[in-house]
Amino acid sequence: MLEPLKEPFRYAPPKALREETAAGVTGKKPAKAKDASGTLQRLWRYLAFHRMRLAAVFVMIVFSTILSLLGPYLAGTAIDRFIEMQNTGFIPFLIGMAVVYGLHAWSMWLQNIWMIGIAQETVRGMRRDLFAHLHKLPIPFFARRQHGELMSRVTNDIENVSSSLNSSFIQLVSSILLLVGIVGVMLSLSPLLTLLTFMVIPLMVFGMKWITSRTSRLFKEQQRNIGDLNGFVEETLSGQRIIKAFSREAVVIEDFNERNKRIHLSGFWAQAISGFIPKLMNGLNNLSFASIVGVGALLVIGGHGVTVGTILIFAEFSRQFTRPLNDLANQWNTLLSAMAGAERVFQIMDESVEAADEQEAAELDMMKGQVEFRNVSFAYQEGHPILRQVSFDAEPGETVAFVGPTGAGKSTIIGLLCRFYEPSAGSIRIDGHPASGIRRDSLRSHMAFVLQDPFLFEGTIRDNIRYGKLEATDEEVEEAAKLANAHSFIMRLRGGYGAKLKPDGGGISQGQKQLIAIARAILADPAILVLDEATSSIDTVTEIKIQEALHRLMKGRTSFVIAHRLNTIQSADRIIVLQDGEVTESGTHDDLLLRDGFYSKLVNGQVVLT
């Protein structure tokens, strides 16, 4: 649980804020972006697929920029020629200006539509690659991460990139081009008034430097805090039963409020400080406008070659001059936020994927199910071994049960067998082949799992059973359900096999979910079966049905069973007792009872598995 903030909530100055939010979460100041240029280069790899459309957008930006410069120039010329000089032909100028502004609006609309398409396709590619990469990562990666935090990368962070790409490219390019064009036209009309306009630039630079130096850190802190909150919310929603069972609602709410407060603090100052930008620009814009009108009027009166039309052009260009600077500043903040999101996405994509199969790895069309562990050791962290010199054999069709206290290494053996992990020492052989010499997908295709908490996907019962064999017919699905003792309860549901389940199998009981999971395993027809606490937390009547289904499922298959209920493993061909990662006893139920060891004491109630 997070420690509560030591001081009451307050609006702190930015420096105090950064220290408070950082110390409350990480104990140190927030880190800056590690590689901004590298992140931009990787974004360009996605954008490069649309380089032709990007070129078309660029052409439209140039076209619209020229038109935006032409409008004020025509207006100033019209004043000088047709108001002061009383010339005719005013109507054609009005028509010309209407055409200019009409084409400008059309070009702006077109470039925005094209850029939105490019941005959406780019983030679609990023989201696709990120999701695919997640499925290539090893199991230990997910054990270290909160699911909600990972979801934040797939959704919030990529959406942040999307919203930036929708506008930033056009704004940045058009602002730069407009700035260059305005300076060129202004210099050609009056260098003195141009110099007067430039006097606000140092103030802008100083103000922007002060603002962006703070917002870059705050936006990154805000994104990290949002990811932390998402992970916490996902965890608490998944653990509602435990929270309510232990009456920990108040504690969870307090934890949530602490995280929410941190988002409030970092979000407030990130938005508040970045919000200074338009205020600063508007103030400087008004200052520039007033200076040009005042000095320009003096130049007109003094006969220094400046006309009323020239003042009008400069007045309009002075506003346009600060607008691209304002846009550049705003888009810089948006870009910083998007860069923070993109960096978090690429951090996941840079995670090492599951080790590649050996070049000569075999693909087994058939598997007998013979398994051999020889002096296998394993450690999740170096220096903290979980398994020590574990050896055992399992012949095809045999049932091997693992017994031992929590943390003894039972589930780790299963993880090594499935190649979720690789042993630190020793060897594992399957059907005489080194496990590392068998393709992972081939190995796992011959295995099936029935876990303590079976996972069912949102969808129909038929689709969930068919997950064990995607090409199975409806008849095969129903036959598997009958063998699993699931057919009768399925037919009582509205819709039968077509009944839709809620996420994670919501809407049916735990025992019914377990029967569906067994049907899924039966349909897969595996050579190796893994049962991990498959009958725990089940009522007696349902357990009988599950036991019958499991006996049918285990028949003729090599089965590995982890169970706390001893009646589920007494008939096993071999029971292996694990303590502190070592095999301390091995044999049948009757053999182990005669030895008067840990297992015998366990059966007689002298010790309890914890």
* 35-349 CATH, one of 2.60.40.1180, 1.20.1560.10, 2.40.30.40, 1.10.10.10: 1.20.1560.10
pLDDT value at 248 more than 90:
no
The pLDDT assigned to 384 comes to: 84
Q: What does each C-alpha distance from 477 to 101, 457, 526, 533 come to in angstroms?
A: 66, 16, 15, 24
The pLDDT assigned to 540 comes to: 67
Average pLDDT of the residues in 142-162: 79
Q: Out of 13-22, 115-124, 125-134, 260-269, which region has the weakest mean confidence (pLDDT)?
A: 13-22
Average pLDDT of the residues in 429-458: 86
Confidence category of residue 16, pLDDT binned at 50, 70, 90: very low
**Which range has highest mean pLDDT (106-120, 144-158, 218-232)?**
106-120
Which one, of 499, 546, 498, lies nearest residue 519 by Cα? Answer: 546
Return the higher-pLDDT residue of 228 and 336.
Answer: 228
pLDDT value at 376 more than 90:
yes
Two tokens at 562? 């982890």
Return the higher-pLDDT residue of 191 and 465.
Answer: 465
pLDDT value at 7 more than 60:
no
Q: Out of 157-161, 360-364, 532-536, which region has the weakest mean confidence (pLDDT)?
A: 532-536
Put simply, whether the predicted model's pTM sits higher than 0.85 gets the answer no
> How many whole angstroms separate alpha carbon 236 and alpha carbon 40?
36
The pLDDT assigned to 358 comes to: 66
Confidence category of residue 508, pLDDT binned at 50, 70, 90: confident
Return the higher-pLDDT residue of 606 and 31.
Answer: 606
Model confidence pLDDT, tens digit, residues 267-320: 888 777 777 766 776 777 777 777 777 777 777 676 666 777 777 777 777 776
Return the higher-pLDDT residue of 330 and 462.
Answer: 462
pLDDT value at 536 more than 60:
no
The pLDDT assigned to 437 comes to: 87
The pLDDT assigned to 28 comes to: 35
Average pLDDT of the residues in 558-580: 85
* 371-603 CATH, one of 3.30.70.20, 3.40.50.300, 3.40.50.9100, 1.20.1060.10: 3.40.50.300
DSSP annotation string for 432-482: TEEGGGB-HHHHHHTEEEEESS----SEEHHHHHHTT-TT--HHHHHHHHH
The pLDDT assigned to 15 comes to: 38
Q: What is the DSSP letter of 350?
A: T
The pLDDT assigned to 154 comes to: 82
The pLDDT assigned to 29 comes to: 35
The pLDDT assigned to 465 comes to: 92
The pLDDT assigned to 388 comes to: 92
Handedness of CA 555, 561, 566, 568 (dihedral sign): negative
pLDDT value at 206 more than 60:
yes
Confidence category of residue 476, pLDDT binned at 50, 70, 90: very high
The pLDDT assigned to 45 comes to: 84
Model confidence pLDDT, tens digit, residues 78-106: 666 665 555 556 677 778 878 888 888 89
What type of residue sits at position 262? Answer: R
The pLDDT assigned to 244 comes to: 75
> How many whole angstroms separate alpha carbon 215 and alpha carbon 271?
8
The neighbouring-strand residues paired with 582 are 579
The pLDDT assigned to 607 comes to: 59
pLDDT value at 19 more than 60:
no
The pLDDT assigned to 544 comes to: 79
Confidence category of residue 234, pLDDT binned at 50, 70, 90: confident
Q: What is the DSSP letter of 5?
A: P
Edge-to-edge strand order for the sheet containing 425-430?
384-394, 371-381, 425-430, 433-434
pLDDT value at 474 more than 80:
yes
pLDDT value at 11 more than 70:
no
pLDDT value at 14 more than 90:
no
**Which range has highest mean pLDDT (98-112, 528-542, 554-568)?**
98-112
Share of residues in the chain with pLDDT > 70 (%): 86
Where in the chain are the domains? Answer: 35-349, 371-603
Can you tell me whether residue 404 is helix, strand or coil? coil
